[in-house]
Structure 1
Amino acid sequence: MTESTRARTTRPALDVLDRDQDRLLYDGDARREPPIQPLTDGFDDVFYALSWYQAAGIRTLGNVEKVIEPSDMMPMSGLLEKLLTVNDGRESEYVRRRLVEQLDSACDLAYRQFRPRASERVETDEGETWSDVDPDVESNPLMRPAFRQLDQGQAAALIDLWTGFKDREALGRWVRNLSTPTNGEKPDGLLDEIVGNPPLLDALLEQDAETAKVTRYRFGIAVVMPSFLAAARTLNGGERTDSSGATHGAWKS
């Protein structure tokens, strides 16, 4: 579908959300760090799968778990292997296609949930209208800087987790800093639980071993990701994009 044929609303934040969801499922987003690889094509490795799931939480307001639960993203779950391009084949392509189709409802639910908050003005005194906002160039998910901050904070936390921590202080600081990317939904007593679990603690502090990386991935999915999804559901993010450029001048808060 081209931009000339894509349906638009008079509330550009909804159009931006719609485009964000297209990238999640079909097109990917190379502008983001780490890039979003589209679900329909599969993921180059488990880190990109982890990153996609986190990005999907933001762009579906947490509703991705209605179709893909965190446990489904675990190694040996039967699903994760079908999402990786290294195991590509007709069966994997079929599984991904069905997930894309099933996630359409989760995307629609997020659209409906966000709709009451998408209250941008239709036209300003200067004559700028909703059509001056281009969903293809808007960098804030849902056209909300708060959601971009949440997305970036979660992505950065996962990168740190993936690489491991040099010592217990670095780990403690990472856990402490999870309050922001979880929007205050961090599990109670998380650091105590980590320290009280020597095998997990060793895996978080071992930066090179592949077995430790697998443990960190499991920890990210089982413990961190539910808090990230909760953050996407609970963040209000009422501030709209405020840009000095002509494209977004009509939508200053």
Structure 2
Amino acid sequence: MTDASAGVEEIGAEETRTTRPALDVLDRDQDRLLYEGDPRREPPIQPLSDGFDDVFLALSWFQAAGVRTLGHVERVIEPPDMMPMSGMLEHLLTVDDGRQSVYVRRRLVEELDDACDLAYRQFRERAGERVEDAEGETWSDVDPEEESNPLMRPAFRQLDQAQAAALKGLWRGFEDREALGRWVRSLSAPTNGEKPEGMLADIVGSPPLLEALLDQRETEAKVTRYRFAVAVVMPSFLTAARTLNGGERTDSSGATHGAFNS
């Protein structure tokens, strides 16, 4: 049965597709965040419902969720919630799979449904209906299972990859001050120009923080880098996800097209 006014076609009991495939891709991306995960992505996305194997994968999920909810994950999980001893982070890790942790994760999944819907509503203004393009492809030729670009937009994939790479670099630590300075300089793209003003000066002006960023060996230094990622880097990443306006869209073959027909 087809509802022409809504641009939605029911294909079966478990699959509903719109004639705007970019929305189908976004919906599928959000489902992976909450329930299924995505091993194709690097680092892989572990689903929130199952919990995370370590704090870095939890941080990676939070970053990926920012892109796939256009920053609205923050309505449910704020950066301070991801801090050690916050009362939430411990429940997100699979090291604690007790009844309370399972319940906390289930409630977060349920509460994030509204944040996902908000992102969907905001993005639908940019996701035009697709009937047939110049190559003769229709909306049904796009497979949300195969599409590798979040929101079917290369700009969002580039943002996602750049943010993930920046977090990996920070997690490892830096060889010297030049490497650190180049990393801070590289944050312009993954923050969409929203990195904190004076960030490098603030780091250099704090000897304990500078030492932790340059120490690649000590576990305590890694904890400091994690806290820095959550408190300083992630807010800028979330803002970038809210402000990015990707223009081109892709089909599942990876070809790019103008945004007016997807």
* Alignment partner, residue 244 of structure 2: 235
Alignment of structure 1 residues 27-106 onto 2, 5 Å: 27-106=36-115
> CA contact under 8 A between 1:203 and 1:212: conserved in structure 2?
yes
CA distances 1:80-138 after superposition (whole Å, capped 9, x unpaired): 00000011111100000000000000000000010000125321355421010000000
* Alignment partner, residue 163 of structure 1: 172
Q: Are positions 1:223 and 2:240 aligned together?
A: no
TM-score by length of 2: 0.92
**Which residue identity is paired with 2:116?**
C
* Alignment partner, residue 200 of structure 1: 209
Residues in 2 aligned to 1:121 and 1:114: alpha-carbon distance in whole angstroms:
15
Q: How many percent of aligned residue pairs carry the same amino acid?
A: 78
Residues in 2 aligned to 1:208 and 1:81: alpha-carbon distance in whole angstroms:
24
* Alignment partner, residue 186 of structure 1: 195
Which of 7, 15, 22 is matched with 1:13 structurally?
Answer: 22
Which of 121, 125, 145 is matched with 1:112 structurally?
Answer: 121
Q: Structure 1 runs of 4+ off > 4 angstroms?
A: none
Residues in 2 aligned to 1:184 and 1:127: alpha-carbon distance in whole angstroms:
38
**Per-residue deviation, 1:239:** 1.0
TM-score by length of 1: 0.95
Residues in 1 aligned to 2:113 and 2:211: alpha-carbon distance in whole angstroms:
40
Residues in 1 aligned to 2:167 and 2:135: alpha-carbon distance in whole angstroms:
43
* Alignment partner, residue 257 of structure 2: 252
Residues in 2 aligned to 1:177 and 1:128: alpha-carbon distance in whole angstroms:
38
Q: 1:37 to 1:129 in 2, by over 3 A?
A: same
**Which residue identity is paired with 2:175?**
K
* Alignment partner, residue 159 of structure 2: 150
Residues in 1 aligned to 2:168 and 2:249: alpha-carbon distance in whole angstroms:
27
> Larger % of helix: which?
1
> Larger % of strand: which?
2
Count, aligned residues: 247
Aligned CA-pair RMSD: 1.4
Residues in 2 aligned to 1:49 and 1:35: alpha-carbon distance in whole angstroms:
11
- Secondary structure (helix, strand or coil) at the match of 1:8 reads strand
Instruction: List runs of 5+ in structure 1 lacking aligned partners.
Output: none
Residues in 2 aligned to 1:124 and 1:155: alpha-carbon distance in whole angstroms:
33
